């Protein structure tokens, strides 16, 4: 076992945030984000010292795999394992549950010795100081700061939307038509942890235009590309929603950005903001998936003397009814939640051959995309489907040839393979 893995076995007990669970025919996998209880309690409850201390913590992604009958016992020990519930995890050779452990920052497997542990639900008195320390940074970002970041972003010509193949995650961009360089990223995620096998082995992104990164919500498959694919993204400015009840790894990531003055938080009282490339919307649902940010992108392209404008919906993982009026019409959209379960009616389409994209990884643990969701989309009139597993996508591109990278592919891996 690596030194990091040995450290894990010695730092018991842990506070474990439950990400939820997945069921299949053979059993149930329950996923956690864990941090040493003693080290977390050393983090101040408030002040700038909290963020610098959070940024230095070591956190772990842990899966517990159980047959269906044993899942009932786990629910008795820790309560219903829904997203956001917290447990105490005591590592012990005689523990009840076998742990599959990964370093949450590096996604390296540390479970060669397969440690075991006991679980129990945290009491209310235990939970309050944990949540105070793990809360996202409360940054008072003004509208003028957001406008300076986004409205000040010059869009000098025709643009299109890219959806990149990052495995079971999401990374989109508003790109300049001439060089295919991203002017803004929407999410910067990738396949990780149980879906690490879906992530590209190597991928180099483009930051030549110093693109800000708009984060839809605080789930790791929407931001961990900055850790696992190209850490140059950590030097960009990020605009993110303030969300409650996040895991320690998420808070650690946000604290790192904040300590480097690269994090702006969307104001609670701002429901939407019009920008040169569309509208950013604060979603109105609950839980992390449905309470973040979505982008209604407006792009245009030229063919000869003709100019064509397009409207594309980038929902992140939000329900369609969390974002906009059900009567709004789009030229293209990215299917929410990687083609998984969602809420609301599928967006209405326009044009003769409306197109939608799905970002997912082959053989992912969620079995995305769901057949029923795909049928719903096709039945709503969307005729063309593009999958990121088949390569990087350009939406609403009207050229005769694929978009060409300004660097010719020498500086990045963002060449477009599908239109």
Note the pLDDT tens digit of each residue in 56-68: 999 999 999 999 9
Give the residue-averaged pLDDT of 288-296.
Answer: 97
The CATH number for 143-395, chosen from 3.60.15, 3.40.50, 1.10.10, 3.30.70, is: 3.60.15
Using a pLDDT cut of 90, give the percent of the chain over it: 82
Q: Say if residue 340's pLDDT is above 90.
A: yes
Question: What integer best gives the mean pLDDT of the chain?
Answer: 93
Q: Say if residue 223's pLDDT is above 80.
A: yes
Query: What is the predicted pLDDT for the residue at 153?
Result: 62
Q: Say if residue 2's pLDDT is above 60.
A: no
Q: State both tokens at 355.
A: 């197109």
* Model confidence band, residue 301 (pLDDT cutoffs 50, 70, 90): confident
Give the residue-averaged pLDDT of 197-218.
Answer: 97
Could you tell me if 406 and 415 are in contact, meaning their C-beta atoms sit under 8 angstroms apart? no
Q: Say if residue 170's pLDDT is above 60.
A: yes
Q: What is the pLDDT of residues 130-145, one digit of tens each?
A: 999 999 999 999 999 9
How far is it, in rounded angstroms, from Cα 96 to Cα 112?
A: 18
Q: Say if residue 306's pLDDT is above 90.
A: no
DSSP for 327-396, written as a single string:
T-EESEEEPGGGG----SPPPEE-SSS-EEEE---TT-TT-PSPHHHHHHHHHTT--EEEEGGG--EEES
Q: State both tokens at 72.
A: 């009932």
Cβ atoms within 10 Å of 313's Cβ, excluding its own? 24
How far is it, in rounded angstroms, from Cα 336 to Cα 346?
A: 10
Give which of 249, 309, 320, 250 is closest to 281, Cα–Cα: 320
150: Cβ contacts below 8 Å, ≥ 6 apart? 184, 212, 214, 239, 273, 275, 276, 280
Q: Phi and psi of 37, rounded to 5°? A: -60, -45
How far is it, in rounded angstroms, from Cα 404 to Cα 414?
A: 10
Helices (H), 135-247: 143-150, 225-228
Helix (H, G, I), strand (E, B) or coil at 322: helix
367: Cβ contacts below 8 Å, ≥ 6 apart? none
* Model confidence band, residue 186 (pLDDT cutoffs 50, 70, 90): very high
Query: What is the predicted pLDDT for the residue at 13?
Result: 96
> pTM of the predicted model, to two decimals?
0.96
Query: What is the predicted pLDDT for the residue at 399?
Result: 79
Q: State both tokens at 222.
A: 């929407």
Q: Is the dihedral of CA 249, 361, 301, 414 positive or negative?
A: positive
Unique residue bearing structure tokens 């769901």: 370
Could you tell me if 29 and 64 are in contact, meaning their C-beta atoms sit under 8 angstroms apart? yes
How far is it, in rounded angstroms, from Cα 52 to Cα 42?
A: 12
How far is it, in rounded angstroms, from Cα 106 to Cα 4?
A: 11
Q: Where in the chain is the domain with CATH 3.60.15?
A: 143-395
Query: What is the predicted pLDDT for the residue at 154?
Result: 60
Give which of 138, 134, 118 is closest to 126, Cα–Cα: 134
* Model confidence band, residue 1 (pLDDT cutoffs 50, 70, 90): very low
Query: What is the predicted pLDDT for the residue at 9?
Result: 80
Give the residue-averaged pLDDT of 167-193.
Answer: 97
**Span of 112-126, 150-164, 185-199 with lowest mean pLDDT:** 150-164
HSE at residue 11, side-chain half, CA atoms within 13 A, is 21
Q: Which comes out higher in pLDDT, residue 68 or 307?
A: 68
Q: Which of the given ranges, 144-148, 222-226, 342-346, has the highest pLDDT on average?
A: 222-226
């Amino acid at each position: 076992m690596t030194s990091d893995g040995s450290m894990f076995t010695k730092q018991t007990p842990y506070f474990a945030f439950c990400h939820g669970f997945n069921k299949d025919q053979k059993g149930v996998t329950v996923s956690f984000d864990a941090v040493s209880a003693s080290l977390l309690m050393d983090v101040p409850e408030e002040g700038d010292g909290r963020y610098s201390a959070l940024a230095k913590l070591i956190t772990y992604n842990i899966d517990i795999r159980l047959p269906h009958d044993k899942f009932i016992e786990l629910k008795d020990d820790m309560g219903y394992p829904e997203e956001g519930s917290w447990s105490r995890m005591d590592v012990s050779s005689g523990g009840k549950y076998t742990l599959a452990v990964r370093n949450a920052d590096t996604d390296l497997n540390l479970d060669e010795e397969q440690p075991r542990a006991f679980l129990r639900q945290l009491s209310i008195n235990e939970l309050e100081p944990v949540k105070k320390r793990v809360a996202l940074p409360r940054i008072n970002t003004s509208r003028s700061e957001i406008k300076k970041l986004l409205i000040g972003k010059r869009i000098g010509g025709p643009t299109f939307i890219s959806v990149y193949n990052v495995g079971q995650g999401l990374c989109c961009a508003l790109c300049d038509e001439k060089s295919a360089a991203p002017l803004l990223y929407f999410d910067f995620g990738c396949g990780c942890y149980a879906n690490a096998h879906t992530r590209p082995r190597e991928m180099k992104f483009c930051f030549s235009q110093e693109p800000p990164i708009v984060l839809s919500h605080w789930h790791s498959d929407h931001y961990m590309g900055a850790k696992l694919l190209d850490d140059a993204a950590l030097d960009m400015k990020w605009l993110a929603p303030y969300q409650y009840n996040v895991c320690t790894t998420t808070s650690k990531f946000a604290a790192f950005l904040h300590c480097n003055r690269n994090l702006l938080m969307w104001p609670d009282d701002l429901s939407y903001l019009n920008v040169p490339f569309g509208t950013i919307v604060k979603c109105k649902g609950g839980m992390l998936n449905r309470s973040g940010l979505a982008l209604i992108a407006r792009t245009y392209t030229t063919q000869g003397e003709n100019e064509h404008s397009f409207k594309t919906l980038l929902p992140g993982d939000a329900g369609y009814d969390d974002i906009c009026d059900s009567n709004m019409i789009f030229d293209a959209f990215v299917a929410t939640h990687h083609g998984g379960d969602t809420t609301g009616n599928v967006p209405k389409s326009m044009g003769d051959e409306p197109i939608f994209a799905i970002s997912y990884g082959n053989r992912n643990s969620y079995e995305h995309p769901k057949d029923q969701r795909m049928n719903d989309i096709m039945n709503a009139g969307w005729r063309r489907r593009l999958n990121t597993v088949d390569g990087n996508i350009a939406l609403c591109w009207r050229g005769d040839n694929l978009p060409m990278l300004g660097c010719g592919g020498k500086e990045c891996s963002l060449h477009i393979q599908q239109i």
